[in-house]
Amino acid sequence: MRLAASDFNTYHRPSRCELRVYLRHRGELEEEPGEYEAVLRRLGQRHERQHLASLGPVVMLDTGSREERERLTRQAVTDEQEVVYQPALSSALEIDGQRWEVVGDPDLLIKWGKGYIIRDCKISQRITHRDHPEIHYQLELYGWLYERTFGEPPVALEVYNGAGEITQLAFKGGTRALQELEAIARVKQAKHPPYTPVGWTKCQQCAFRYRCWPEAVERKDVSLVYGLHQWMALELRKEGIETYTELVQQYSAERLARLTKPSAAHGGKVGKRASSILRMARALSTGEEILIAPPEIPEHPNYVMFDLEGMPPQLQEPAKIYLWGLQVYGERPGEFRCALADFGPEGDRNAWFEFLEQARDIFEQHGDLPFVHWYSYEKTNIEMYLDRYGDPEGTAARVLDNLLDLLPVTLESVALPLSSYSLKVVERHIGYERSLRETGGDWAMARYVEAVETEDETERQALMKMIIAYNREDLEAMWGVMQWLKDRAAPAVPLRLVE
């Protein structure tokens, strides 16, 4: 029976899930990593190799049997080697009367004074426990294994992060990591698969989604209800509510409002969300849309559909918007236009000011028309870029004043028989079909990384052309959803009214 530092990654990435631990331990079939995840792995490997090359002579222990690597690790420390790559550590641990072998392979041991620093290379820039608990647990476990092996704690635990900086983590004996490892061990030993609520965002990048999501749909799992949090599904299950049909049949809004989160310091409850959750559950149960209220869309002869394509902070790069997409629809429609970040050192800044020029031109032609977007991404990034590069003529401030987030408008207008209000899901519900079917945000990011890395200008332009086509369809889909919503305000629309 074996536990490994990599089990923390299984447990927490892409989201915390006991069922993934159980399935992987039993060797269940997994889907291949998505394109963006594969790109990140490649970038992470390159990041690690570059750091390794900066450290001078290194004892390489990345090949050979585990037993041989563990022996060579002990020998390298005894010989006081300066840098050891991929050392192998192990120890025994008893959990609930069961003896487990615990193993861990940190990236580096680095000689410092009379001891060693344990260092891992990670592509992430934010190494907080909130953002990446798995990294903290991994390093803590390495520290515990090192102390068990050599009789003294490591000098320090460090992460060489994606920004090229060293982040130090505290080592307090590894208590938290061992507690988490015990929970993982109990999941591995379970006789039956643990119940874990599904979630649209939670499950999107999981290698077992192909298995878990259809099963949840088949059994009408209560966690499929939009707005119903994971803890709510677990608490409802304790009370015998396993499906959204049972939720609708057995719960009133008043009763659901009293449902309390057990871990909340001040007794957090469902509260005012109860009515909305029950409405969503009813829509799923009946398969029908439920009209809540006419959509609050300001009247204007024209609207700008507005969508951004960006990269999260990675590898010494801050968060970056590489495409600002705009298109006017309505009585005086315009052509698709976009501001693209070029691949030079000023590309990010140039794209921002190109976007401001495009927006200013639209205002001059159409006045203060709504800039329609989906969710908060556009607003957040305009504010970030305003702080980053400024807004000399006040155009960004004017765009912010005219933003119309279509997601809350949709949520407040109609309950859909869907488990997600992602634009991609809602657009399919209304009948919009893309010509580029195998695309998405991760797909676009993967293509952009390829464009950045290639030295072939023809290939780069072809990749950017694909991303532009994807963004254009995002805008077209958003316009379609907005028109569909406005139709819902018409009295003749045969929708079920909210009770």
User: Each residue of 218-228: pLDDT tens digit?
Assistant: 999 999 999 99
Give the Cβ contact number of residue 315 at 10 Å.
19
Structural domain ending residue among the three candidates 287, 316, 333: 287
- Percent of the chain, pLDDT > 70? 96
Structural domain ending residue among the three candidates 263, 287, 311: 287
- 337 and 371, same domain (yes or no): yes
- 391 and 482, same domain (yes or no): yes
3-state secondary structure the chain: CEEECHHHHHHHCCCCCHHHHHHHHCCCCCCCCCHHHHHHHHHHHHHHHHHHHCCCCCEECCCCCHHHHHHHHHHHHHCCCCEEECCCEEEEEEECCEEEEEEECCCEEEEECCEEEEEEECCCCCCCCCCCHHHHHHHHHHHHHHHHHHCCCCCEEEEECCCCCEEEECCCCCHHHHHHHHHHHHHHHCCCCCCCCCCHHHHCCCCCHHHHHHHHHHCCEHHHCCCCCHHHHHHHHHCCCCEHHHHHHHCCHHHHHCCECCCCCCCCECHHHHHHHHHHHHHHHHCCCEECCCCCCCCCCEEEEEEEEEECCECCECCEEEEEEEEEEECCCCCCEEEECCCCCCHHHHHHHHHHHHHHHHHHHHCCCCEEECCCHHHHHHHHHHHHHCCCCCHHHHHHHCEEEHHHHHHHHEECCCCCCCHHHHHHHCCCCCCCCCCCHHHHHHHHHHHHHCCCHHHHHHHHHHHHHHHHHHHHHHHHHHHHHHHCCCCCCCCEECC
- 282 and 343, same domain (yes or no): no
266-276 average pLDDT score: 87
User: Which domain CATH number covers 82?
Assistant: 3.90.320.10
Q: Which domain holds residue 233?
A: 219-287
Read off the pLDDT band of 265 (50, 70, 90): low
CA 130 to chain centre: 13
Q: How far is CA 65 from CA 49, 69, 87, 102, in A?
A: 22, 6, 12, 16
| 294 inside domain | no
Predicted local distance difference test score (pLDDT) of residue 316? 56
Which of 6-20, 24-38, 410-424 is the least confident region?
24-38
pLDDT of 193 strictly over 80:
yes
- 58 and 130, same domain (yes or no): yes
2-8 average pLDDT score: 97
Which residue, 278, 243, 236, 240, is CA-closest to 261?
236
Summarised one tens digit per residue, pLDDT across range 42-58 is 888 989 999 999 999 99
| 204 inside domain | no
Mean pLDDT, all residues of the chain: 93
- 159 and 227, same domain (yes or no): no
| 495 inside domain | no
Predicted local distance difference test score (pLDDT) of residue 491? 44
Please state, in angstroms and rounded to a whole number, the distance separating the CA atoms of residues 284 and 79: 65
- 338 and 471, same domain (yes or no): yes
pLDDT of 498 strictly over 70:
no
pLDDT of 445 strictly over 90:
no
Task: Name the domain count of the chain.
Answer: 3
Predicted local distance difference test score (pLDDT) of residue 266? 54
Structural domain ending residue among the three candidates 189, 205, 237: 189
Which residue, 79, 67, 66, 52, is CA-closest to 150?
79
- 179 and 97, same domain (yes or no): yes
Read off the pLDDT band of 264 (50, 70, 90): low
> Pick the residue with more confidence: 308 or 497?
308
Predicted local distance difference test score (pLDDT) of residue 492? 39
Radius of gyration of the chain (CA): 26
- 306 and 283, same domain (yes or no): no
- 150 and 263, same domain (yes or no): no
Predicted local distance difference test score (pLDDT) of residue 490? 52
Instruction: Determine the residue type at 224.
Output: L
- Percent of the chain, pLDDT > 90? 83
pLDDT of 38 strictly over 90:
no
- 470 and 342, same domain (yes or no): yes
Summarised one tens digit per residue, pLDDT across range 392-428 is 999 999 999 999 999 999 999 999 999 999 999 999 9
Partnered with residue 406 across adjacent β-strands are none
Which of 213-217, 341-345, 436-440 is the least confident region?
436-440
Summarised one tens digit per residue, pLDDT across range 285-330 is 999 999 999 999 999 999 999 999 998 876 557 889 999 999 999 9
pLDDT of 104 strictly over 70:
yes
Six-digit token string for 71: 């022996």
pLDDT of 487 strictly over 90:
no
Predicted local distance difference test score (pLDDT) of residue 267? 61
Predicted local distance difference test score (pLDDT) of residue 496? 45
- 269 and 146, same domain (yes or no): no
Six-digit token string for 14: 């892409």
Of 256-265, 315-324, 381-390, give the range with the top mean pLDDT. 381-390
222-244 average pLDDT score: 97
> Pick the residue with more confidence: 449 or 339?
339
| 496 inside domain | no
User: Which domain CATH number covers 340?
Assistant: 3.30.420.10
| 295 inside domain | no
| 213 inside domain | no
Give the angle subtended at the CA of 19 by the CAs of 25 and 437, to the nearest 5°: 105
- 478 and 406, same domain (yes or no): yes
| 481 inside domain | yes
pLDDT of 494 strictly over 70:
no
Asked if 449 contacts 322 with a C-beta cutoff of 8 angstroms, the reply is: no
Model-level pTM? 0.89
| 196 inside domain | no
pLDDT of 262 strictly over 90:
no
Asked if 190 contacts 22 with a C-beta cutoff of 8 angstroms, the reply is: yes
